[in-house]
Amino acid sequence: MAENGTAVRNIVVTGGGTGIGLAVATRFASDGHHVTIVGRRREVLHATVRELREESGLDVTPVVCDLADPDDVEAVLPHLPERVDVLVNNAGSRELAVGAGPHGVLARWRGDFERNVLTAVLITESLRDRFSEDGRVVTVTSVAALRGGGSYGASKAALHAWNHSLAAQLGPQGVTCNIVAPGTVAGTEFFGARLNEAELTRRAGRTLVGRVGRPADVAAAVLFLASPEAGFITGEILQCNGGELLGR
């Protein structure tokens, strides 16, 4: 039994070594579930595993994989749980430093679709026969998918369309598929040095609650949609942005 009296579940969190994914993985592991975290950087995953063990006595399993690479995804399948109760598609990133001209445009668009769409779609399609009855797929997109954000926002919006069809395909077997779309979240690697004090203040001012998000805010939304109680919610987009769409 998990901490809250429910059955122990197998949870896979992509991008679980840092930021929002780490907050999600920590919550699930604290509740007593079996958690696998996936990312490209071995040293980051192993440092996270060590830290969780030493500081909180929690055990999570690291799996190194570039989720945008089909060969890599195929190769790690034996290292992922035979039965998956919850898949959190959280891995994703945005690269601003690309060149100009058609080649720059191509690099940005192709890159954003690889970084954000393929990282969710390849692993989900590969695991679809392993989802348990009452399984959960929760995919992390962005407010950029709803308010506009160039190729990055378009790639996250593509996940919204994909999620609708996934929800229809997996619904008959009891699996729900939902989206969490965060606004600005500080304390992750996503923005690198771009999120300085002035930018944080500007972004906080766009919300109705006067602050930017924390990884734990997004983790709480993910855990709700992944919970056994949320079985009648599917194909949904849960915004987690402090009212940013209304506030601007």
Ligand X SMILES: NC(=O)c1ccc[n+]([C@@H]2O[C@H](COP(=O)([O-])OP(=O)(O)OC[C@H]3O[C@@H](n4cnc5c(N)ncnc54)[C@H](OP(=O)(O)O)[C@@H]3O)[C@@H](O)[C@H]2O)c1
* Contact set for ligand X, span 133-162 (CB under 6 A): 140, 142
Minimum Å distance from CB 49 to ligand X? 13
Could you tell me the two tokens for 46? 């192993």
Minimum Å distance from CB 12 to ligand X? 12
Q: Which is nearer to ligand X, 167 or 185 (CB)?
A: 185
Q: Binding to ligand X by residue 62, rule CB under 6 A?
A: no
Q: Binding to ligand X by residue 204, rule CB under 6 A?
A: no
Q: Which is nearer to ligand X, 70 or 228 (CB)?
A: 70
DSSP 235: S
Q: Which stretch binds ligand X (CB under 6 A): 2-10, 14-22, 78-86, 225-233?
A: 14-22
Give catalytic status of residue 152 as yes or no.
Answer: yes
Q: For residue 176, what are the CA distances in angstroms to 1, 42, 230?
A: 22, 31, 8
Minimum Å distance from CB 132 to ligand X? 23
**What secondary structure, in 3-state letters, does the chain show?**
CCCCCCCCCEEEEECCCCHHHHHHHHHHHHCCCEEEEEECCHHHHHHHHHHHHHHHCCCEEEEECCCCCHHHHHHHHHHCCCCEEEEEECCCCCCCCCCCHHHHHHHHHHHHHHHHHHHHHHHHHHHHHHEEEEEEEEEECCCHHHHCCHHHHHHHHHHHHHHHHHHHHHHHHCCEEEEEEECCECCCCCCHHHCCHHHHHHHHHCCCCCCCECHHHHHHHHHHHHCHHHCCCCCCEEEECCCHHHHC
Minimum Å distance from CB 178 to ligand X? 15
Distance from C-alpha of 99 to C-alpha of 201, rounded to nearest angstrom = 29
Q: Which is nearer to ligand X, 41 or 248 (CB)?
A: 41
Q: Are 163 and 177 in contact (CB under 8 A)?
A: yes
Q: Binding to ligand X by residue 93, rule CB under 6 A?
A: yes
Q: Which stretch binds ligand X (CB under 6 A): 126-134, 165-173, 187-195, 229-237?
A: 187-195
Q: Binding to ligand X by residue 68, rule CB under 6 A?
A: yes
Q: Binding to ligand X by residue 24, rule CB under 6 A?
A: no
- Contacts with ligand X: how many residues (CB under 6 A)? 30
Kindly tell me which residue out of 2, 32, 44, 233 binds ligand X, with binding defined by CB under 6 A.
44
Choice among 28, 113, 131, 152 that is catalytic: 152
Minimum Å distance from CB 123 to ligand X? 9
Interface residues with ligand X (CB under 6 A)?
Answer: 14-15, 17-21, 38-41, 44, 65-68, 90-93, 115, 119, 140, 142, 182, 184-185, 188-190
Catalytic residues: 152
